[in-house]
Each structure stands twice: as C-alpha cells, then as structure tokens.
Amino acid sequence: MIALPLGQIAEILRGELRLHASDTADTVVDGVVDTDSREMTPGAIFVAKPGETTDGHRFVPAAADAGAVLAIVERPVEAPITQIVVADAVTALADLAREVVARVRAAGRLRIVGITGSNGKTTTKNFLARILSDEGETVAPVRSYNNEVGAPLTMLRVTPDTRYLVSEFGAAGRGSIARLAGLVEPDVSVVLMVGLAHAGGFGGIEQTALAKSELVSAARADGTAVLNVDDPRVWAMRRIAEERGMSVVGFGQHPDAEVRADRIEVASDGTTAAIIVDGEETPLRLQVLGAHHVHNALAAIAAARVLGVPVADSISRLETVRIAERWRMQPMGSDRVRIINDAYNASPDSMAAALRTLAQISGPGERTVAVLGAMSELGETAGEEHDRIGLLAVRLNIQRIVVVGPEARRLYLAAVGEGSWDGEAVHLPDQDAAFEYLRHELRDGDRVLVKSSNSAGLRHLGDRLGESFS
C-alpha cells in the first residue's frame, strides 16, 4: 500500500484510532494489506474480517507476532498492535482501497481496466497483465480475487509507480459489480460474455446481463467499453456506453468487430488464429488450449490497444503464456497420457467449450476421455443443463465419459440415454473411486479432460491423475 499516516487512515475509515507503544497519529505505514494473518510480513496491515466459519479477530495476535503494525477491527482486541476500530471491516477495506487508488491516480499516470463476464475473467486478466507488464508496473489480482474482499485487496497493492491496475469483477448479485467498480471507475471496461454461470443466483440470464452491464455504467464517462460483438447481450451494452459518452470497441469473430479473429484452429500443442485489426492480419499462436481462449486473447488485445499498445506487441507477449491459470486447461501427465485439468470452475458454456477442445485435439489412435463433475449455481436450469452436456459429450464422440458425484448423475443418465452405454459411460460416487477406476482404465494415447465446478473439487483429482501419469 502507499505510505499513509495512521491518523489519516483512521479518518478515511471513519474509525477510532487506538495507538500502541510509541505509535502516534503521524506514524506512517505502507505494508501489505490482507485478511489472512498467514500473509503478514513486517509492516503489514491486518484486516480482521468476520467470516462464516471463523472470525479474523481471533488472529490479530498472530498477525502482530508476524510483524503487522496495524489491525483494522470491528472491536478492540487484546494484542500488542495499533488498532483502528470500525463499524464494518469489509466496508473499511473498500473505503481504504477507494482512497488509495484515487491518490495514486491523481498523482501519476495510473490507468485502470475492469473485466467481467460469466466465463473467461481470470484468463483475460492474466493475458492483459502479461501484455501490460512490459509497458510499466502492473497490478492484477492473484488467482480469482474478484469479490468484495479480493478486489479491494488487489487495489491496495498499487504504488506511486503503478501504471496499470487490472481489476477482475465477479457478481454475487445485482449491484455488486457496481459497488466494486465504483471504487475505481475504470478507464476501460471489458465485458466478455453473458452465460448461465451463477444464473440461478440472479434469477435468469437476463438478470445476469443486467448485473454484468453495471461495469459499463460504473466506468469513467470519458472511458472505453470493450465488448464482445459475438454475444448479443454484451453487444447491446454499447447503448449504455454511448449514452454516457464513452467510446466502444468490439471484439470477436463477427465482421463488425474492430479486433477480430479468423481461422481458429486447435491442436494438442496450442491454438492458432489470424487476428485482424484495421485490415491488417497478424498470426497468433497461443500455447493455451481451446478456441474459447482466442476470444479472451481478443479482449486483452483490444483493451491493450485502447491503452496504446500495438497489436503486434500484444500478440508476441501473449504467445509466451504457457497456461491461463492453474486448473484452467492446464496440461499435465505426459505425451503417453495427457491430462487437461480444467476443474477450477464450470458453467454450461465453459463445459461445452472444454469438451469441444478435447474432441479437437485428439488424433488418430488417441482416445478421448471426459471426467466430469457437477456444475453449480444453475438454479432451476441445473437438470436440463446437465442433460445438455451429457448429450453433447456423446455427440462429440467422446469415447469414455466418467461422471463423478451424485450431483452430476443426470449428466451420466443423459449420456447413456443418447447411446453411451456398454461401459462407454460410467458413474462413480466420489474422487477416490474415480481415481482407482481411471488408474486402471487409462492407456497410452488417451487424452483426458477433467472438468467440474470448484465445489465438486475435481481439480484435485486432476492433480492426482497428472502426477500418476507423469
């Protein structure tokens, strides 16, 4: 975090400053800010956030022992550390992030990009951070820090020298993106797609679209909206941008896209496409598997272009990215048995994209095996969406379909009903059973996809398989 006196921090948070030892209101702090006491380093700031299973106030003494010099708390704690007592720790975290980013922005050249979408946020964030990091100091979320805690923690990592802040915004419900993006008012707002991920929590896909459009509404009025032309719900958001006086840049495969991809091809060693901007064509060869990642690359190229990065530079930097993120189309195993661990999360759209990639990368003599778990947060559409994925897997001629867990049983039944029987599709109760089955079932030449929502936990099964067949 930027250097701030304790007294000023207390004023920003509208809290009560309770000094410890020789600290005064003029004592300056500038350490990392985190809600995890295990992440404390000398000079750090600990935010004691109450949680669902534990309470951060229990860990204030541990944070102090680790070198933290300030704790933001909702009640005083007996510990040798200066504390600021606030009404709500999460709100205080947001208030601090807003002020820190505003000060850095006012003092320097900081440009801010916000990214949202039902799928692809983390990959696009990583792609864009890779492009921008060669231009200047760039701050981007670790993992998927995109909620009411993770997003402000990322914002608080900016320094006076930071040139770019890339923020990823997830939606817990209507209004959540507006609140988070409103903390920083992005210069560039990127909306990737509107899909069925989390649609159950929003009340349908149209409500999901409204939630994602909040990023465009929260951007600076002189900013730019980077929108997916191939998704009608996203492209319709250009009206919001135009009404606010913003510029609009479209990306996709549609002829109207300013940043466009053509001739997308997927192979076992990566994904290729032709990128077309202003009539000029540049080849792109991603090491990352999957045609859907070309759209994420387009979004990153378009956002970087708004910020002044030439398309050729963006492409050359993207070609150095080996994996999008851990557990996202992550190649594991060996040439003998290739495991693709894509089980960090799953929605109907991403599940379908991963299955198509599996079908595309298999060559003669190679068998396709899909290890599939449940997709979460789909509400009343869950049953029919699991049915649809089971049907798709069979129609793509996936040769072995291994369904794991009771929540995914309908996927198995749909596959059997479509013709995947006589051992081609199996249903197993848990990860251990699946691992034992696959340990004996897999053979040389198999190409294996492991895919599920985070809650199903198949990413750990993917890791076990990757190690077993390495």
What digits encode the pLDDT tens for the residues 71-108? 999 999 999 999 999 999 999 999 999 999 999 999 98
Residue 16: CATH number of its domain: 3.40.1390.10
% of the chain residues with pLDDT over 70: 98
- 430-442 pLDDT, tens digit each: 999 999 999 999 9
Q: Stretch 392-406: mean pLDDT, rounded? A: 96
* Judgement on whether residues 22 and 137 belong to the same structural domain of the protein: no
pLDDT for 437 equals: 97
Same domain, 70 and 102: no
196 band by pLDDT with thresholds 50, 70 and 90: low
- Looking at the chain, the whole-number percentage of residues with pLDDT higher than 90 is 84
How high is the mean pLDDT of the chain?
94
What are the tens digits of pLDDT across the range 318-342? Answer: 999 988 778 888 999 998 999 999 9
Task: Specify whether the CB–CB gap between 441 and 465 falls below 8 A.
Answer: no
Tell me, yes or no, whether 107 and 191 share the same domain.
Answer: yes
pLDDT for residue 260:
98
Task: Say whether both 46 and 139 belong to one domain.
Answer: no
Question: Is residue 413 situated within a structural domain?
Answer: yes
Domain annotation covers residue 368: yes
Is 112 within 8 Å of 105 (Cβ atoms)?
yes
Helix axes 458-468, 431-441, angle to 10 degrees: 30
What tokens does 420 get? Answer: 């995947």
Are residue 272 and residue 394 in the same domain, yes or no? no
Q: For 289-325, how does the pLDDT look when each residue is reduced to its tens digit (9 = 90+)? A: 999 999 999 999 999 999 999 999 999 999 999 887 7
Q: What is the DSSP letter of 289?
A: -
pLDDT tens figures, 57-80: 999 999 999 999 999 999 999 999
406 has pLDDT over 90: yes
Please report which helix (H) or strand (E) contains residue 345, including its range: none
Known binding residues for ATP are 117-123
pLDDT beyond 80 at 358: yes
Domain region containing 419: 330-468
Last residue of a domain, one of 286, 318, 350: 318
Is 45 contained in some domain?
Answer: yes
Backbone phi, then psi, for 465, in 5-degree steps? -65, -40
Tell me if 174 is assigned to some domain: yes
User: Are 372 and 464 contained in the same domain?
Assistant: yes
Q: Which of 87, 105, 123 is the last residue of a domain?
A: 87
Q: Rounded CA gap, 181 and 98, in Å?
A: 10
Rounded to whole angstroms, how far apart are CA atoms 230 and 252? 6
Confidence of residue 204 (pLDDT cuts 50, 70, 90): confident
Q: What is the pLDDT of residue 338?
A: 95
Residue 28 shares a structural domain with residue 145:
no
- Considering the domain architecture, whether residues 147 and 187 belong to the same structural domain is answered as yes
Last residue of a domain, one of 87, 103, 136: 87
Q: Give the per-residue pLDDT at 201.
A: 55
Binding-site residues sit at 117-123
Residue 280 domain-assigned (yes or no): yes
Model confidence at 422: pLDDT above 80: no
Alpha-carbon gap, residue 125 to 11, rounded angstroms: 33
- What pLDDT, on the 0 to 100 scale, is given for residue 392? 97
**Would the pLDDT of 400 be above 90?**
yes
pLDDT of residue 329: 86
Do 233 and 208 lie in one domain? The reply is: yes
Q: Which two tokens stand for residue 161?
A: 């020298």
| CATH number of domain containing 419 | 3.90.190.20
- Total number of domains in the chain: 3
Same domain, 292 and 390: no
Q: Residue 299: inside a domain, yes or no? A: yes
Determine the Cα–Cα distance for residues 247 and 387; give it in Å rounded to an integer.
41
* Domain shared by 334 and 307, yes or no: no
Check residue 399 and give its pLDDT. Answer: 95
Q: What would the pLDDT profile of 150-190 be if each residue is shown by its tens digit?
A: 999 999 999 999 999 999 998 777 899 999 999 999 999 99
Question: 78 and 117 share a domain?
Answer: no
CATH number for 232? 3.40.1190.10
Residue 301 lies in a domain: yes
Q: Is 253 a domain residue?
A: yes
Say what the pLDDT of residue 275 is. Answer: 98
Query: How does residue 124 score in pLDDT terms, banded at 50, 70 and 90?
Result: very high
